[in-house]
Amino acid sequence: MTDPNWGLRESYSFDKYAIHEIRRAPSTGLYRIRGWGAKRQLPTFDDLVFLGASVSRYPLEGYREACDTSVVLGTRYAKKPIKLKIPITIAGMSFGSLSAQAKEALGRGASEVGTSTTTGDGGMTQEERGHSTQLVYQYLPSRYGMNPADLRQADAIEIVVGQGAKPGGGGVLLGQKITERVAEMRTLPEGIDQRSACRHPDWTGPDDLTIKILELREITNWEKPIYIKCGAARPYYDTMLAVKSGADVVVLDGMQGGTAATQGCYIEHVGIPTLAAVRESVRALKEIDMHRKVQLVVGGGIRSGADVAKALAMGADAVSIGTAALIALGDNDPHYEDDYRAIGSAAGYYEDFQAGNDPAGITTQDPDLAKRLDPVKAGHRLANYLRVLTLEVQTLARANGKSDVHNLEPEDLAALTVEAAAMAGVPLAGTDWIPGRGY
Amino acid sequence: MAGGSNVTVLDLERESLRAVNRRLQTVGAGAGPFRVSNPRGAHALACGLTAGIEVEIEGHTGYYCAGMNEAARVTVKGNAGVGVAENMMSGEVWVTGDASQSAAATAHGGLLVVEGNTAARCGISLKGGDIVVKGNVGHMSMFLAQAGNLVVLGDAGESLGDSIYEARIYVRGKVASLGADCIEKDMGEAHRADLAALLERAGCVDADVGAFRRYGSARALYHFKSENLDSY
Ligand SMILES: Cc1cc2nc3c(=O)[nH]c(=O)nc-3n(C[C@H](O)[C@H](O)[C@H](O)COP(=O)(O)O)c2cc1C
């Protein structure tokens, strides 16, 4: 018997998701706003492999020979640089987009393994300050909740120019998440759809930014490292200008980077992949002899120790993680499958961070849902996840004969696709061909 | 400031910006008064002050003068560059000349008085501070302003109060145009009283409250609707 479905051909251009979106638009009249990051297939670190050791290079013994993972951020100007035990930091995620419990859990997890966490749009909460041994304070265009006392309480300051999910885009926090506490911290009426500006209110280009950095240093006695966070737009130029403006650290976020709420078209179509961005940023730093002097923190789609190791091999000093950290806390947990189904989603697919109805209690301001997350247990889960990433990075570093994870280098890598070879600037596996570098 | 012998003079020709700021940032309330001489457009001057001290700057200043001010009373005897009193929390900043763009940007509290004019985006993203400008203000003033007051004795440039939230604007002169979602509103008794108090604090004793018009948010853009497309 013939299967009748064999004759049904799904259009490659108009696939089910495309048809769904076209059908959704006329019914709502609004573009889709969602959380998570880019969901389509992109070139990633998976397109690179480590070469490992053999006759030409010898490896280090996995469990016996030491492999250093520590890193210091902010050595250029700051009197008090940030010292991390592992090269993996927690990215800035706002209180407002996340519950207070989730922020506390992030602080607990990061502190347990000796790394930093970061505030976000909407200001600093005491939950996260209290539970984070090293806290980076974001200085954003909206300046919601920005105050000099918190600036002085922070261990580093991150000037947010953009993030990978939406380089050049401002923020939105939809009304359902603007509870009394969030509204008060942001000086806004409760329940309105709140916009965060896309440009800073008192500086525009790199010359102004230089003076802004001077002001921030003057106010904090030149103690704190100043990071500049950019979405991956034109990373070669953006990195150079960030360094010229006086950054101690450049934070570069590729297009896969997560978000709390952004237009779907922005998430999927603006910015370049992390893989391509790192190479450009490192090239800029090397050209101006600032590689390792200004540290580079790379984010956007980091999931595993292999991703971390590859980012480091390409020249990053550390990475930052957002989505993966939320998953480690319990986001998209199959335990809540029924609840996900009830809101039209499924564990593993949930992306409506903007909606405030997160069954896992992480991206919500609903007190009953937020209670589902135990900050102590979730924090410990995050710490364990960070330990696993660190062990994986060490394993890969030793496999390439490195006693410090920062000794990993592009020469340890090969690309599996021509695209990745061109973007990462490493040879296509089995050849010594790097597209664009002649032959 | 009285010119008495108790004035401490900090000379930027002889001392570094760091030294002058550090001194002003670490003294206790009641110290001074201080006079800063030879500012010559220095940036980030007298920023991050936290004590209720009096500081008079003898000349023009650069960007972010008195930025993030708390409690102090800072007077600029001249013009101020971009972002004077940005993110002020409390205290008072007076500019005897003109102020550049983004004056009192994001200020959460305190009072900025500009005797002359300000350039564009005066009071941008204001979060509770008060501003009195005796001359005119440039375009896009009070863009995205959330709370606080702007009083303009002269005229306002284009797109005044664009995307404004709950902040209030009082203008005595002409308004070139109103920005998205900003409308003229009634002057109630409470508004008159607020305005009179602000004028008094700014030393505008002769200004007639009745000559001002009030502007604020129509609150039509508080929720996203595609029907609002024409407004943006
Ligand atoms: C829920 C959520 C909230 C976020 N909030 C902010 C924010 O307030 N400021 C910011 O710079 N980035 C924000 N981001 C982006 C992260 O800082 C980071 O750039 C991104 O998550 C990294 O990519 P990854 O999620 O793939 O690890 C947010 C991301 C998420 C998932």
Q: Count CB atoms within 10 A of the CB of residue A349.
A: 12
Q: Is A72 on the interface with B (CB under 8 A)?
A: no
The stretch A13-32 carries a mean pLDDT of 93
Q: Does A49 touch chain B (CB under 8 A)?
A: no
CATH 2.40.240.20 given to domain B8-220: no
Among A291, A137, A147, A143, CA closest to A226: A137
pLDDT in tens, A195-235: 888 999 999 999 999 999 999 999 999 999 999 999 999 99
3-state helix, strand, coil in chain A (%, to 5): 40, 15, 45
- Given ligand 1 and candidates A36, A163, A249, which is best to mutate, with the most ligand atoms within 8 Å of its CB? A163
Residue from A215, A217, A223, A226 to probe the interface with B (highest B Cβ count within 10 Å): A215
Return mean pLDDT, chain A. 95
What are A282-326's pLDDT values in tens digits? 999 999 999 999 999 999 999 999 999 999 999 999 999 999 999
* Domain residue extents for chain A: 29-424
Q: Kindly give the distance from the C-alpha atom of residue B225 to the centroid of ligand 1, in angstroms, as a whole number.
A: 26
Q: Would an 8 Å CB–CB cutoff place B10 in contact with chain A?
A: no
Please tell me if the CB atom of residue A120 comes closer than 6 angstroms to any atom of ligand 1: yes
Q: Determine if the pTM surpasses 0.95.
A: yes
Cα-Cα-Cα-Cα torsion A415, A417, A420, A424, nearest 10 degrees, comes to: 30
A187 contact residues in B (CB cutoff 8 A) = 108, 127-128, 146-147
Mean pLDDT, to the nearest integer, of A374-386? Answer: 98
Q: Which residues of B touch A195 (CB under 8 A)?
A: 144, 163
Interval between CA A164 and ligand 1 midpoint (Å): 8
Order of strands, edge to edge, in the sheet holding B111-114? B8-11, B34-37, B54-57, B73-76, B92-95, B111-114, B127-133, B147-152, B168-171, B213-217, B182-185
A187 closest CB neighbour out of B21, B43, B146: B146
> What CATH number does the domain located at A29-424 have?
3.20.20.70
Name every chain A residue with its beta carbon within 8 A of the beta carbon of B127: 143, 187
What percent of chain A clears pLDDT 90, i.e. is strictly above it? 87
Residue B224's pLDDT is 77
> In this structure, are strands A71-73 and A413-415 parallel, antiparallel, or unpaired?
unpaired
Ligand 1 binding pocket includes A300 (Cβ within 6 Å): yes
Cα B31 to Cα A43, B8, B26, B55, B87, distances in angstroms: 61, 9, 10, 10, 24
- Give the H/E segment covering residue A313: helix A305-313
A322 lines ligand 1 (CB under 6 A): yes
Q: What is the pLDDT of residue A238?
A: 98
Residue B44's contacts (CB-CB under 8 Å, 6 or more residues apart) are A211, A214, A215, A218, B17, B21, B62, B63, B64, B65, B67
Instruction: Take atom 4 of ligand 1 and give the residue whose Cα is closest.
Output: A93
Q: Are B116 and B88 in contact (CB under 8 A)?
A: no
Cβ atoms < 10 Å from Cβ of A290: 19
- Asked if the model's pLDDT at residue B4 lies above 70, the reply is no
Contact call for B163 and A212, based on CB within 8 A:
no
Tokens read off for A19: 């048809």
